[in-house]
Structure 1
Amino acid sequence: MRQRPRHFSPSLSTHSPKMKARTIFGFSVSLILINLASILEKADENLLPAVYKEVSEAFNAGPTELGFLTFIMNFVQSASSPLAGILALRYDRPTVLATGTVCWAISTAAVGVSRHLHQLAFWRAINGFGLAIVIPALQSFIADSYKDGSHGTGFGLLSLVGAIGGIGGGILATIMAGQEFCGMPGWRFAFLMMASVSLVIGLLVYLFVDDPRKISPTYIEADVESVRSYQLGGKAGLARPSLWRDSLTAMKSVMKVQTFQIIVLQGIIGSLPWTSIVFFTMWFELIGFDHKSSAALNSLFAIGCATGSFMGGFIADRLSRIYPDSARVMCAQFSAFMGIPFSLILLTVIPQSVDYWFAYAATLLLMGLTISWCASCANNPMFAVVVPLKHRTMIYAFDRAFEGSFASLAAPAVGIVTERIYGYDSKSISLANGSPQGALALSRGLLTMMVIPFGVCVLFYSPLYLVFKRDRENAKMASSKEQELTYNLNGGLGLSI
């Protein structure tokens, strides 16, 4: 990996050519490529759920086995996420992102050529490892690229462009699934094609993306302080910087922040419905919708979520100027609450028939517009201001670790509830022409894993009204003290910035 420079001259200048951000027609090259990586990441995540029906037929797998494939990827991703925070302390984030992208590209290609279910499960686990490295680094990169007060818009935009990849990946896989390309099933060819594009994006990120830490005066000061510690370690016998000691310090700093604890607690429950949603494509096809109709429904939901995420972040940014301590929490609670009525309408009120495509389409679009705010309006922007700048990747990594590890249980839980409580039998149900009985059983399993978690999530956000302001002020005070100390020490050593 490309390591952050540790050997500086005694005098550093922020006007170094290496510290200028590259642009094309006024747009940051780094942000363009980062958003392209987000597009590919979301497309990769949506490939397998979009072809659950074909995978079920190819491997003779029911909802429980399919849910396990999602579980194993999400669990490995969650367990490995802290690694992103550790790597970001020592290496450039573009290098971390490129490494994760290559890892998920290789595993995506391997999924496309797997012949046995256990092979599929293994490579999905490797895919989760690659995503674990990429996602926290992406989030901290965005947090560093936008000013305070506009983080919601920044994260909303990232989600918006990422959704383009999710829509594209889902449509691509769903439409190609029923055809053959180069003598292989279309769903397998889609995985190989996605892997090739991901490799190219990974290479471009490595070559052309500049880490904000190289152009931010705050980060330059931090790097000077690291050099000072290293030089003193050689001269005065003090401890040299240690990756593991730095990582442990960052972990302790993140874990004791109450805002982080509360958001993670609600996220553990609030992520369950989103993990369950991977079964939507299979549910639509069990109702009787063909590949194109199912892809269109999923696309409308994804469009709603993408637009809603950007809209939620934008609204929260504006409201937080008036109510800086409570606006983001209120927006998040509104969004989580809206998941309850829309889940009930979608899964119980609308008749499960192909004659009601437009009713499903309208409901999914409105549902996506309103339930997708939490990450962009509250979670990610609040994480950005409750810890010091250098710990941002770590807080996003641990958020993924805790939330994802529990949320990964949702997919197999939907399968178990559907089969054992509501009577879904994969052996007696024909997937080729749809199955009203199977669709009803799956909808009830989805309903169980969506309505209750959405309601609990609303309640769990409430303590943030009391603790967010205090944690934000503590982080500001800590950053100010660090900068003042760095300035004084640098002056004492004759270092200039």
Structure 2
Amino acid sequence: MAPASGTLAKYVVMNACALAAMDGALLPASFAALSEQLQVGTAELGLLNFSQSIACSLALPVWGWLLQLTCGRNLLACGCMMWGAATFLLAMSSNLWVHLMLRLVVGVSLAVVTPIGQAMICELYPESGRGRAFGWLQSASTLMSAAVTFATTCWARKNICGVSGWRVINVLVAALSWGMAAAIRWVVPVSLVAPSPGRRATLGDMRARITNLVCKKPSFLLLLGQGVTAGIPWNAFAFLPLYFQLSGFPDLSAGEIVSIGGLGGVIGGVVGGWLGDWAHRRWPYAGRCGVAQLSLFLGATVFVAVMKCSPRFWAVVSLLFLFNVVACWTPVAALRPICGDIVRDSQDRAQMMATWICLEGIITSTLGAPLVGLLSEGFGCRLTSAKAHGEQTAAALRAALLGVALVPWLLSWLVWLPMLGIFNENDSQTLEPAEFMQMMSSFYYGIAGAFALLEEWLSSWFPRRRRQADAES
């Protein structure tokens, strides 16, 4: 089978990565329907999201290691087949524990995208154009996620020919996943991210090699810290569709809010990639860090406005659209291009990305949606009570979302400060121990201050909300 042109291979790889984002959007958009059919609350919904996310994180290094055994094309196609099968089986089940097990399989399958798909993109695009490439990828992912979020939020609780809407949508997404697996096998060349001849290592040896490589690169350690802190809010946003439904918007309106607002990410991905490349040409690497900090500041400001504005449809849609335009620059402008530049070897790059996203995913999966579920119930969110759609429930979920978003964004902004001082083009130099410790000491005190603010906020909000909920129940 002759390999297709490079341009067609680019489109197929990008669409495979974007399809993974669409599959990952199914669960948050189905929260309201799953809450009714499985009779569960926000804590259990957070557990479903956690199981998928943690499985994805833990499987990342394994997919990266498998690159030494077979080519990236086969691994990416295998991942598509696996998540298509798991998504199809999810549509057949109404048991919470079965959903938990299948979410683990979905997470393992989706993990193939980060190390394999992104390593392929780094091979297909030159260094000067990777920001735009990742920008287009994020835009395509956002567009597909918005489409499935809108369809699922609107139709999840309706019956389509006697079948629950969320089940029908799961089957359709599974069919798309299988079709994408066939396209990958047909179009992507075997030589793209192929195993090196004679290079074999156990998973433990590979982990030791990557650990040694990472320890020599201070910038990677800070990229990891930034990814951990910045990823927590986006994991927590799995509850946004449910929040808008609890705020009084009908299912259709809630789906339109999340989908239309999410389309801002289509523009934001392209703008962020272009800004990152432009800033990198003007101020090598420091420019990318500056764009990331600007995105964090603008995103946090607009998100507060989204959560505090009056519940009018177009006001919420406009602000959420603006939020997605400005808040998504960091990965495409800085994180992915810089990580791609740190390591030149395709297998090392895939394994390093896998290690990075693994550690990031474990922490964000724990402190994202699950923490929102626990905090919201502590603040008085009761989905199974008669007052489930009252102002108290929406206010509790809003307080949890704000807390889990703003504190990590502050920490993420602080992490970029030492990045301005230690990154260079080859990332070959390391700081003197005293200089590095002085820089990290300043960073530590910033984190300590942020956690002190978080502790003060929780101590004032949590008991008061809990007493109000108990009094009303």
* TM-score scaled by length of structure 2: 0.86
Is structure 2 residue 30 aligned with structure 1 residue 51? yes
Equivalents in 2 of 1:452, 1:134: separation in Å?
28
Tell me if structure 1 keeps the 8 A contact 2:135–2:271. Answer: yes
Q: Which amino acid aligns with 1:278?
A: A
CA distance in 2, matches of 1:51, 1:66: 10
Tell me which of 243, 253, 265 is aligned to 1:283: 243
Given that 1:93 and 1:211 are in contact with CA atoms closer than 8 Å, whether structure 2 keeps it comes out as yes
1:341-360 to 2 correspondences below 5 Å: 341-348=301-308, 350-351=309-310, 353=311, 356-360=312-316
Asked if the contact 1:347/1:443 (under 8 Å) is kept, the reply is: yes
Instruction: Please say if 1:418 is aligned against 2:376.
Output: yes
Counterpart in the other structure of 1:397: 354
CA–CA distance in structure 2, aligned partners of residues 443 and 243 of structure 1:
46
Query: Which amino acid letter does the alignment assign opposite residue 252 of structure 2?
Result: K
User: In the alignment, what sits opposite 2:454?
Assistant: none
Q: Does 1:464 align with 2:419?
A: yes
Change (3 A) 1:291 1:117: same
Task: Report how far residue 470 of structure 1 moved.
Answer: 5.9
Q: Distance in 2 between matches of 1:424 and 1:178?
A: 21
SS at match of 1:28: helix
Q: Distance in 2 between matches of 1:287 and 1:52?
A: 15
Looking at structure 2, the residues matched to 212 and 312 of structure 1 have their Cα atoms a distance apart, in angstroms, of: 30
Shift of 1:249: 2.6
1:86: how far off?
A: 0.6
Deviation at 1:61, TM superposition (A): 0.8
Structure 2 spans left out of the alignment, 5+ residues: 431-473
Sort the Cα spacing of 1:429 and 1:246 in 2 relative to 1 into closer, same or farther, 3 A: same
Instruction: Determine if the alignment matches structure 1 residue 383 to structure 2 residue 344.
Output: no
Q: Does 1:270 align with 2:252?
A: no
Using the TM superposition, give the Cα deviation of residue 196 of structure 1 relative to its aligned residue in structure 2, in angstroms: 1.3
The correspondence for 2:258, drawn from 280, 298, 310, is 298
What per-residue deviation string (whole Å, max 9, x for no partner) do you get for residues 309-330 of structure 1? 2211111101211111310000
Displacement of 1:472 in angstroms is 3.2
SS of the aligned residue for 2:370 comes to helix
Rate the CA distance shift 1:461–1:242 in 2: closer, same or farther, 3 A. Answer: same
- The one-character-per-residue Cα deviations of 1:93-141 (angstroms, maximum 9, x if unpaired) are 1111111111111111111111211111110111000011222211111
Structure 1 gap ranges (5+): 1-16, 231-239, 476-497
Alignment partner, residue 478 of structure 1: none
Within 1, Cα distance between the matches of 2:330 and 2:129? 15
Q: Please say if 1:324 is aligned against 2:303.
A: no
What amino acid is the match of 1:328?
R
Contact 2:159-2:165 at 8 Å conserved across structures: yes
Tell me the residue number matched to 2:297: 337
The alignment of Structure 1 onto Structure 2 pairs a total of residues equal to 427
Matched, 1:63 2:42: yes
Deviates more, 1:240-249 or 1:35-44: 240-249
Please give the alpha-carbon distance, in whole angstroms, between the structure 2 residues aligned to 1:331 and 1:207. 38
The yes-or-no answer on 1:260 pairing with 2:220 is yes
Confirm or deny: 8 A CA contact 2:217 2:427 kept in the other structure. Answer: no
**Aligned amino acid, residue 183 of structure 1:** G
User: 1:493 maps to which residue?
Assistant: none
TM-score (norm 1): 0.82
- Aligned mates of 1:108, 1:474 — CA distance in 2: 46
Distance in 2, Cα, partners of 1:129 & 1:143: 22
Deviations 1:157-204 (A, max 9, x none): 111111121012112212221322242111111111111111111122
Deviations 1:236-294 (A, max 9, x none): xxxx7445445643453245421111011121111111011111100111111122211
Contact 2:71–2:191 (8 Å) recurs in 1: no
1:403-461 deviation line (CA, Å, top 9, x unaligned): 110000111100111111x1112222456xx4322111111110110111111110011
Task: Give the counterpart letter for 1:436 in structure 2.
Answer: E
State the one-letter code of the partner of 1:331: V
Distance, in Å, in 1 between the alignment partners of 2:29 and 2:120 is 29
Preserved contact between residue 68 and residue 200 of structure 2 (Cα < 8 Å): no
Provide closer, same or farther for how the CA distance between residues 211 and 147 of structure 1 changes in structure 2, counting only shifts above 3 A: farther
- Percent identical among aligned pairs is 25
Question: Counterpart of 1:157?
Answer: 136
* Greater displacement, 282-291 / 83-92: 83-92
Distance of 1:121 and 1:301 partners within structure 2? 29
Deviates more, 1:358-367 or 1:306-315: 306-315
For 1:68-79, list aligned pairs within 5 A: 68-79=47-58
> For 1:202 and 1:61, how far apart are their aligned partners in 2?
34
Kindly indicate whether residue 324 of structure 2 is the aligned counterpart of residue 368 of structure 1: yes
SS of the residue 2:40 aligns to: coil
Q: Which 10-residue stretch deviates more, 302-311 or 456-465?
A: 302-311
Question: Structure 1 residues 212, 257: closer, same or farther in 2, change over 3 A?
Answer: farther
Q: CA deviation at 1:340?
A: 2.2
**Alignment partners' CA distance in 1, 2:115 and 2:266:** 19
Q: What one-letter code is carried by the residue in structure 2 that aligns with 1:398?
A: T
CA RMSD of aligned residues (A): 2.1
Partner of 2:100: 121
Q: Secondary structure at the match of 1:462?
A: helix
Contact 1:144 1:212 in 2 (8 A): no
Q: Is the 8 A contact 1:89 1:247 kept in 2?
A: no
Alignment map for 1:30-109 (pairs within 5 Å):
30-109=9-88
- Cα 1:194–1:255 shift into 2, 3 Å: farther
Q: Distance in 1 between matches of 2:78 and 2:160?
A: 29
